[in-house]
Amino acid sequence: MTQSRGQLAVIATPIGNLGDLSPRAAKWLQNADILACEDTRMTRKLLSLTGVRTSAKFIPYHDHNGKTMRPKLIDAMASGKLVALVSDAGTPLVSDPGYKLVAACHDADIPVTAIPGPSAVLAGLAAAGLPSDRFLFAGFVPYGQKAATTAFNEFADLNVTSIWFESPRRLGTTLKVMMEVFGDRMVVVARELTKLHESFHRDTLLSMAEFYAQAPPPKGEIVILVSGTIKDDDEFDTAKLAAMLRAEMQATSLRDAVQTVTQISGQPRKMIYSIAIDLDKKN
């Protein structure tokens, strides 16, 4: 959509004070009359770090003042003002306030455009090594074990990768509950996505739950990605995995056989390695 007066632009901003705005995002921010910000102080800091200069009026817009501010922003756009909606970091409306403003714009026939940028959800999915053809973003893990268990049960039988936000201090408990609900699937704990200290920890839920039960809480923002359930027609039981390993081990080393069967089946490497060791001992 070309830039014109009287519309809303939903603009992604750099995460963690790192990275650059796209030329399109920078142009919109420079030309905006109003910046609707989750936190005006953070937005000013981000724009300063990225070198963007704007004469726009900074207005706080969040869950607490949205009911009051929405009519004012709609009136401003109806009178020809260009409004940009930005979050503290990343893409607005992804676990951030703002969708009601977008809905109000549509109801008022005010054009809306989105300018993509950093997203912890998509960055995590791209680098996790889990199936990415179908996925569901579930938002923040509900507080309390009972509420979390209920939420996880909604995803337990779905053949999709589920993506969750969680706080570092609750990570160990959450992984334990996930293990109880999902069973021993592949999981990735991604930390500080798109930031300077980004890291990925990939293993089975059982191993991860045991590890984070003992380890101190990691620092930074956490994204958890859990593989989905396996379709009945794609299921690899122990007998089938053992047969595949026998065939591979006749022509190659145990290590290479484990790698091949892991890639083909999509099952946890530790489980396949354990089966291979048992087969090797019997031989």
Give tens-digit pLDDT for 199-243: 999 988 988 999 999 999 999 999 999 998 865 444 567 777 888
Work out the percent of the chain whose per-residue pLDDT is above 90. 45
What does the block give as tokens for 173?
């408990």
For residues 129-136, average pLDDT: 87
Side-chain-side CA neighbours of 122 within 13 Å: the count stands at 7
Between 92 and 201, the more confident residue is: 201
Q: What is the DSSP letter of 239?
A: H
Question: Coil, helix or strand for 191?
Answer: strand
Please name the amino acid found at residue 275. I
What does the block give as tokens for 67?
């009911």
What's domain 125-229's superfamily in CATH? Tetrapyrrole methylase, C-terminal domain (3.30.950.10)
Beta bridge partners of 83: 8, 34
pLDDT tier, 18 (very low <50, low <70, confident <90, very high otherwise)? very low
pLDDT tier, 3 (very low <50, low <70, confident <90, very high otherwise)? low
Beta bridge partners of 76: none
Buried b / exposed e over 204-216, threshold 16 CB at 10 Å, is bbbbbbbebeeee
The 3-state secondary structure of 197-236 reads CCEEEEEEHHHHHHHHHHCCCCCCCEEEEECCCCCHHHCC
pTM of the model: 0.74
pLDDT tier, 182 (very low <50, low <70, confident <90, very high otherwise)? very high
**Average pLDDT in the chain:** 86
217 CB neighbour count, 10 Å cutoff: 13
Backbone phi and psi for residue 122, each to the nearest 5 degrees, phi listed first:
-75, -35
Question: Coil, helix or strand for 274?
Answer: helix
Tell the CATH topology of 7-115.
Cobalt-precorrin-4 Transmethylase; domain 1 (3.40.1010)
The 3-state secondary structure of 104-163 reads HHHHCCCCEEEECCCCHHHHHHHHHCCCCCCEEEEEECCCCHHHHHHHHHHHCCCCCEEE
The DSSP bridge pattern shows strands 186-191 and 222-226 to be: antiparallel
